[in-house]
């Protein structure tokens, strides 16, 4: 579900023409629909209206301040994974008591920063980390509320790079060792074991892996309470998938229906960390065709966005749909085509061996479903400034992040005097 549709022959974000936007902000650019973002957040929240819950939006999927602020205003919190993300959360005005801090490699500085601000929970990924959080907390004179991330060994049936809940994954603690870890946690001066955390993977397109893992962790909550721990929070992570191509993932209401019966009697505050399902289909990347090119065996369309702007197709062989901005272009003859960027890598493509209509120089092309893990994974590779991010609401648009400049690219770089002194012959 999204609000990118053809109106009067051209693709629009809500009521804003993407052609007009391209003229005004240049290409490539990311554009998000306010209506889609708010709808997705609301629908997810409504699915859990019958229980106490907190939706901690996974900032790694989209960290623009305007978007974080929007979800904060809708009652949401944030799932963060670094000190930088905590800083962003603060800049967006997010109350610290709605923030959960995850990640396998939190540094002492990051732990102290989060303790000082008073985040709701640390999601703990290893015994060493647990002990260290205790040590840092004692040093700074704070209590760290923790939720140990347990690994239920459930296969989410998704891409191996985004599978996290299996025994061989670097994430979480083996569920069979969980009770002993909570005993350790309870013995540490600066630590208050208050929750259980579990996240099994991302882009999950059926309810059954969620139902299986929830059953396992709900049992664990009962056991931990029996052991005397005051478990008040159950964090079920994120992972609900979206339609990129022809997937038919469960709706948030289906997801809720699959898991809530197993959770209702626990009385925990449920925490969710959705990312992709909220922002994925709420954003697209718009790019302009530079050239066409045919080799004996391949047909290429070269565009002005590359893997540095959107890396998912290259990194995960991810499918993202490609729509011409001009509606009539859909009727052009079709060919098997690679849509490639200007970056000097063979792996630089946004679509590979795809049945696409002919595209010509200056055509605008929309790469759909780019709102999650799009801009946040963009880089400056090949010294390419990162694109701007635009938020559309009805007929208005707002530049929520400016296009980087060449000066931005070299900010913070220095040539030491002993090199600068050398004359360029």
Catalytic positions, please? 344
Q: DSSP state, 329?
A: G
Total of chain residues touching ligand LLP, rule CB under 6 A: 22
309 binds ligand LLP (CB under 6 A): no
* Tokens matching residue 60: 């790694």
The residues in 61-80 that bind ligand LLP, with binding defined as CB under 6 A, are 61, 79
41 binds ligand LLP (CB under 6 A): no
As measured in angstroms, the least distance from the Cβ of 100 to ligand LLP is: 9
User: Residue 300 or residue 316: which is nearer to ligand LLP going by CB?
Assistant: 316
SS3 252: helix
The residues in 354-413 that bind ligand LLP, with binding defined as CB under 6 A, are 372-373
Among residues 11, 47, 58, 270, the one that binds ligand LLP under rule CB under 6 A: 58
Among residues 110, 129, 273, 348, the one that binds ligand LLP under rule CB under 6 A: 273
Q: How far apart are CA 216 and CA 94, in angstroms?
A: 32
SS3 419: helix
Q: Where are the beta strands (DSSP E) in 84-205?
A: 99-101, 121-124, 144-151, 173-174, 191-197
Binding-residue pattern over the window 234 to 253 for ligand LLP, x denoting contact by CB under 6 A = ---xxxx-------------
8 Å CB contact between 76 and 55: yes
Phi, psi (deg, nearest 5) at residue 163: -95, 125
Q: How far apart are CA 119 and CA 317, in angstroms?
A: 36
As measured in angstroms, the least distance from the Cβ of 276 to ligand LLP is: 4
209 binds ligand LLP (CB under 6 A): no
Within 229-327, residue ranges assigned H as helices are 252-259, 276-279, 312-316
182 binds ligand LLP (CB under 6 A): no
As measured in angstroms, the least distance from the Cβ of 12 to ligand LLP is: 26
Q: How far apart are CA 376 and CA 378, in angstroms?
A: 6
Alpha-carbon distance values, 138 to 132, 133, 191, 274, 359 (Å)? 10, 9, 9, 32, 62
User: Residue 102 or residue 366: which is nearer to ligand LLP going by CB?
Assistant: 102
Q: DSSP state, 251?
A: P
The residues in 275-294 that bind ligand LLP, with binding defined as CB under 6 A, are 275-277
Strand partners, 285: 30, 367
As measured in angstroms, the least distance from the Cβ of 172 to ligand LLP is: 9
User: Residue 283 or residue 357: which is nearer to ligand LLP going by CB?
Assistant: 283
Stretch that binds ligand LLP, among 2-10, 17-25, 195-203, 220-228 (CB under 6 A): 195-203
Stretch that binds ligand LLP, among 221-229, 254-262, 269-277, 387-395 (CB under 6 A): 269-277
As measured in angstroms, the least distance from the Cβ of 23 to ligand LLP is: 30
Phi, psi (deg, nearest 5) at residue 276: -55, -40
User: Residue 98 or residue 276: which is nearer to ligand LLP going by CB?
Assistant: 276
Q: How far apart are CA 62 and CA 226, in angstroms?
A: 39
User: Residue 76 or residue 274: which is nearer to ligand LLP going by CB?
Assistant: 274
Q: How far apart are CA 8 and CA 17, in angstroms?
A: 10
**Interacting residue ranges for ligand LLP, rule: CB under 6 A:** 58, 61, 79, 102, 162, 164, 199, 202-203, 237-240, 273-277, 312, 316, 372-373
């Amino acid at each position: 579900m999204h609000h990118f549709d053809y109106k009067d022959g051209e693709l629009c974000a809500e009521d804003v023409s993407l052609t007009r936007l391209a003229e005004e902000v240049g290409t490539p650019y990311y554009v998000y629909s306010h209506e889609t973002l708010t709808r997705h957040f609301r629908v997810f929240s409504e699915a859990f209206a019958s229980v106490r819950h907190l939706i901690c939006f996974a900032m790694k999927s989209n960290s623009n301040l305007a978007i974080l602020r929007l979800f904060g205003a809708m009652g949401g919190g944030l799932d963060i994974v670094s000190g930088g993300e905590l800083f962003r959360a603060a800049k967006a005005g997010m109350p610290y008591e709605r923030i959960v801090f995850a990640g396998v490699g939190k540094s002492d500085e990051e732990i102290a920063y989060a303790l000082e601000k008073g985040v709701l929970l640390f999601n703990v990924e290893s015994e060493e980390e647990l002990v260290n959080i205790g040590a840092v907390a004692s040093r700074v004179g704070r209590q760290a509320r923790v939720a140990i991330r347990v690994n239920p060994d459930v296969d989410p049936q998704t891409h191996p790079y985004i599978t996290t809940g299996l025994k061989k994954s670097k994430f979480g603690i083996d569920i069979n060792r969980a009770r002993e870890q909570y005993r350790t946690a309870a013995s540490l001066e600066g630590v208050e074991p208050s929750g259980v955390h579990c996240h099994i993977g991302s882009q999950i397109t059926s309810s059954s892996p969620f139902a299986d893992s929830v059953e396992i962790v709900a049992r664990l909550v009962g056991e931990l309470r029996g052991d005397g721990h005051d478990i008040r929070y159950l964090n079920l992570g994120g992972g609900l998938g979206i339609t990129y191509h022809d997937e038919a993932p469960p709706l948030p209401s289906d997801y809720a229906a699959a898991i809530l019966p197993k959770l209702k009697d626990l009385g925990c505050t449920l925490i969710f960390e959705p990312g992709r399902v909220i922002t994925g289909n709420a954003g697209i990347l718009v790019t302009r065709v530079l050239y066409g090119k045919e080799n004996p065996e391949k047909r290429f369309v070269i565009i002005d966005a590359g893997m540095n702007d959107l890396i998912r197709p290259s990194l995960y062989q991810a499918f993202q749909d490609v729509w011409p901005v001009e509606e009539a272009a859909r009727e052009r003859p079709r060919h098997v085509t690679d849509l490639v960027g200007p970056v000097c890598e063979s792996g630089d493509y946004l679509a590979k061996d795809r049945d696409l209509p002919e595209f010509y120089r200056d055509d605008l092309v929309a790469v759909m479903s780019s709102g999650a893990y799009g801009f946040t994974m963009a880089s400056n590779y090949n010294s390419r400034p990162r694109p701007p991010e635009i938020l559309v609401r009805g007929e208005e648009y707002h530049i929520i992040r400016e296009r980087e400049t060449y000066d931005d690219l070299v900010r913070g770089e220095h040539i030491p005097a002993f090199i600068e002194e050398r004359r360029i012959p």
